[in-house]
A and B are shown apart, each in its own frame.
Chain A
Amino acid sequence: MTAIRIAGLNRRFGPAFAVEGLDLEIAAGEFLTLLGPSGSGKTTTLRMLAGLERPDSGTIQVGGRVMNGPGVFVPPHKRNMGMVFQSYAVWPHRTVYQNVAFPLRVQRVSRADEKARVGRILDLVELPASDFADRYASQLSGGQQQRVSLARALVADPDVILYDEPLSNLDARLRDAMRTLLRDIHGRIRTTALYVTHDQTEAMVLSDRVCIMQAGRIVQQGTPRALYDNPSNMFVTEFIGGANALPIVEQDRARQQVGIAGGVRIHVANWNAGSASRLVIRHHHVQLLPADATACNAIDATVRDAVFLGDRVRFTLQADCGLTLIADAVASPGLPMPGSRIRAVLPAALCIII
């Protein structure tokens, strides 16, 4: 079932489009993330869905109800959505309880019910009411404020919950903890969610589906796995994971082979792209074999540099054909040293043609 349907959404600031011709459908209970660099129009999209920003044109439907359309505009307070702001937006002059209870107050929920629901939701975000209910927001740490903000967004059972880079103001350790908490909570409540971030890890940990945004448009969408395995262009490739991109100089579609610099031919198992300009392979997919090993799809190279990164070692390889390759290997004894000769193998099944 479709919960949200956005079609032909446009928003300009001055002459420049912040969001251009955006179409998007979100299924009920789905956790969807807009992932893209700063300025790509994620926040603007989210705010238009919330009703905080008006689109220039386009329609937004939520649960079959038209929120934005020709002659229709439902103001934000009538959309029954929850939102977690990047700045937390916790009211500093109110207590934690007053912050979280506010959406229920607006709905005129009975006091007894309100108390029970606020208590339950505070437990869910791991801010026990007994310790935190009467504290002022100004007495809370950033992470705690973020939890209050989350509790406030969830307490009234919204149809949709919106997140605008909720973790970007937290330090790395807190961010990990909050990410896990969010994943747990959504695993339980299954509220339809639209999440905005520029952090690929967040997107991959949390999302059922990810839309990559660039310059106001969605350039590719799919499950995190699908985006990682089959990026449709260099932008998506770089944004998710990073990879080697080797220019293709000749192609032989019939034999599923491409030629790269120095006359090296590489066999490719899946050839989906119409045009072929680059051979892409993830860093950790490059296999390192001894210089005398026999293998197909092998490139002879010298190790120029090896950097120890804890769980893995990152090699910079100078191929004889002139290309530079990066290869990641699990840290273990017996890895090649800088200066040694090796053969770098690009497994056919893991090569991507773009």
Chain B
Amino acid sequence: MATVTPNLDLFGPLPRRLGMSVVLAVSAALVLAPVLAVIYGAFRTRPPGAPRAAFTLAKMAQAWGGIFTGGWTQAPTVNTILLAIPVTIVATALGVALAWAVTRTDMPGRRTLELLFLVPLLYSPLVSVIGWTVLADPGAGLLNRAWAGVTGAHAPLFDVYSYGGIAFVMVFYFAPYAFLLCAGAFRALDSTLEEAAAMSGAGLLRRLGFVTFPLMLAGIGAASLFIFTLALEQFAIPGFLGAHVHFDTLAYAIFERTSTYPSDLPGAAAAGTLLLVLSSIGLYAYRRLTRHAGRFISVTARGYRAVPTALGRGGMVLTVICAALFAIGVALPLAAVLLRALLPVRTASVDLSALGFGNFTQLFAAGDFLLGLQNTAWLAFGAATICAGLGLLIGSLLVRRRSAGLSALDYLVALPIGIPGTVFGVGMLWAYVRTPLYLTLWILLLAFTVRYLVYAVRTVGGSMMQIDPVLEESAAIAGGTPLRTFLFVDLPLLKPAIASAWLLVFLIVMREISASVILYGADSVTVPILTWNYLNDGSYGTASALAIVQVVAVGLVVMLLRWLFGADIRARSE
């Protein structure tokens, strides 16, 4: 204790211990309730509150045994794994390659490209879904139409309602996450390590193989496991596109069990335990890998400055490849959504004279549009603010103080990362269905706060770690009380991290759909839910208009925060 600064001791020892116990108990209750509820529910015959509910092993037997005996979980489980593994591999490979190009080379335009690659982090997976539906619907998709027009072929060029189509859309949706995580790791790599290989006579490929990639392996592995858990729980993309061809994944099948008549909540919970186990395997591997990551990270010495690898003429080629990937993966679907939002009806050929704002007027006139917008804004601001506040408190305490209670809190806060959204939704439903929270916005707020607090804690903690305790000590010696010291020294330095944490949670909540789709009620619809519902009703135009509204709103908030507080989603430290 003596070596750590005594400054953050905001309370006396006894109240602190007491306070800690209360905080721990409340956090444990909040975090564990949905998990335990899913497990409990998986062994019940009927949904919570239903009369004559009893314990049974039947649902679990159906869900788990069904995998091998052709039960209802078999196809979704196989599909989930078949989708998650290749998507993880390709998206990670793409992210790593792009991160390398942007951070380690002198490729022209790399700064612009870096920002462009992060654009998909701003929109919901539904944007990708709409965009690719407009482009690659086997019958009416613009690309397929154009293809048929040019070649006269009847078979579509690219059918988005297929295994390959779903995987393709997911790869481009997740590659930016891999890019973000790997770019950070690449930046931390001391470039003299590569230069030493060059001075040893090794050419570019040899350097990459001997130094760069081996050193990045831990970072790449961590990124891929993170993508793996995201791909496992992804609901909207395979859910919507797969439904056309009865290609169900677990996340979607769980939702279906809860939403179609007659609903089977215990069955959904039992399938939830399946997905939970899959996701935990990924998370466990991730933890193991990142725990030993320190061994691979090179300590950057004094006098270090990152010097990009000179590519010469190859740089321009790389720029073109990167720009093409951005055009295909991001610009094209976004443009398609915009186009569809401006077109009154789904047409096989684009009639430019028909462009107009009909979809928008229709959207604004719809009764639940304003409600959804209000709800989403309220949820996103609320969850982001609560998470940023708690993240500041917990994150800074975790870095400066070590105690068993704090370590336990750290663990609890991180636990929900491994719980897939739909499973979390089912758990929340089961745990809170008999409380007044049920079907209100409050249950969504609670769900988001519990689920995403960890991102705020890590972001603030990462930044706190970079503040030299000496700064606090000198303020304390100058006579500052712990609280004054914290407000005067740490808070200003943490400001960008707090803003980034806020932004991160805001962005995630703005596009959250997998848990909300199970928890929402008529009065608590959100923008992603509305979009999802419009899509499933076949109102593509309105869905597109709504998606555009959301992208613009999120974009404005991001720019505002960047301008006001220097918030940057790249500030997130894993």
Contact = CB atoms under 8 A, between A and B. Distances in A.
A52 B200 CA distance: 12
B201 A89 contact: no
Interface stretch (B35-43, B187-195, B281-289, B548-556): B187-195
A92 B215 contact: yes
A107 interface: yes
Contacts of A81: 199
A81 B198 CA distance: 10
Contacts of A78: 201
Given A52-B307, A54-B310, A102-B210, A89 B195 contact: yes
A169 interface: yes
Nearest to B301: A87
Interface in B187-230: 190, 192-193, 195-203, 206, 210-211, 214-215
Most buried by B among A86, A88, A93: A93
B300 to A, nearest CB: 7
B296 interface: yes
Contacts of B211: 91
Nearest to B297: A92
Contacts of B295: 92-93, 138
A85 B200 CA distance: 12
A102 B202 contact: yes
Contact of A77 (B190, B198, B214): B198
Range of interface residues on chain B? 20 to 34
Contacts of A103: 200-201
A148 B381 CA distance: 54
Most buried by A among B190, B195, B200: B200
Contacts of B197: 77, 91, 102
B51 interface: no
Nearest to B303: A86
Contact of A86 (B200, B206, B302, B310): B302
Contacts of B202: 77, 102, 106
Contacts of B307: 52-53
B298 interface: yes
Nearest to A76: B198
Given A77-B198, A102-B197, A87 B203 contact: no
Contacts of A43: 303
Contacts of B195: 50, 52, 76, 83, 85, 89
B193 A75 contact: no
A58 B214 CA distance: 37
A87 B304 contact: yes
B301 A50 contact: no
A50 B296 contact: no
B206 to A, nearest CB: 7
Most buried by B among A75, A77, A165, A169: A77
A91 B196 contact: yes
Contacts of B214: 93
B311 to A, nearest CB: 11
A152 interface: yes
Contact of A91 (B193, B201, B206, B304): B193
Contacts of A266: none
A153 interface: yes
A165 B201 contact: no
B301 to A, nearest CB: 3
Given A52-B307, A102-B197, A89 B210 contact: no
B192 A87 contact: yes
Nearest to A136: B295
Contacts of A77: 197-203
A89 B193 contact: yes
Given A77-B203, A102-B210, A86 B301 contact: yes
A156 B200 contact: yes
A168 B201 CA distance: 26
Interface string B306-329: 010010000000000000000000
Given A85-B192, A87-B192, A89-B190, A50 B199 contact: yes
A55 interface: no
A80 interface: yes
Interface string A86-106: 111111110000000011001
Contact of B201 (A53, A87, A138, A156): A156
Interface in A7-53: 43, 50-53
A153 B199 contact: yes
Contacts of A165: 303
Nearest to A93: B214
A82 interface: yes
Interface in A150-169: 152-153, 156, 162, 165, 168-169
Contacts of A83: 195-196, 199
A83 B195 CA distance: 9
Contacts of B215: 91-93
A182 B191 CA distance: 25
A92 B201 contact: no
Contacts of A149: 196
B206 A92 contact: no
A86 B195 CA distance: 12
A53 B197 CA distance: 15
Contact of A169 (B192, B203, B301): B301
A89 B307 CA distance: 14
B216 to A, nearest CB: 10
B291 to A, nearest CB: 16
Nearest to B192: A89
B213 to A, nearest CB: 10
A90 B192 CA distance: 9
Interface in A180-195: none
A52 B192 CA distance: 10
Nearest to A81: B199
Nearest to B296: A93
Interface of A: 43, 50-54, 75-78, 80-83, 85-93, 102-103, 106-107, 138, 149, 152-153, 156, 162, 165, 168-169
22 contacts: A50-B199, A51-B198, A53-B307, A76-B198, A76-B199, A77-B200, A77-B203, A82-B199, A83-B199, A86-B302, A87-B190, A89-B193, A91-B197, A91-B211, A92-B295, A92-B298, A93-B296, A102-B200, A106-B202, A152-B196, A169-B301, A169-B302
Q: Which 9 A-B pairs have the closest CB atoms?
A: A87-B301, A89-B196, A103-B200, A89-B192, A106-B201, A83-B199, A76-B198, A85-B192, A77-B198
Interface of B: 190, 192-193, 195-203, 206, 210-211, 214-215, 295-296, 298, 300-304, 307, 310
Given A81-B199, A83-B199, A93-B295, 18 more contacts: A76-B198, A77-B197, A77-B198, A77-B200, A82-B199, A87-B190, A87-B303, A89-B195, A89-B196, A91-B196, A91-B197, A92-B296, A93-B215, A102-B210, A106-B201, A106-B206, A152-B200, A168-B303
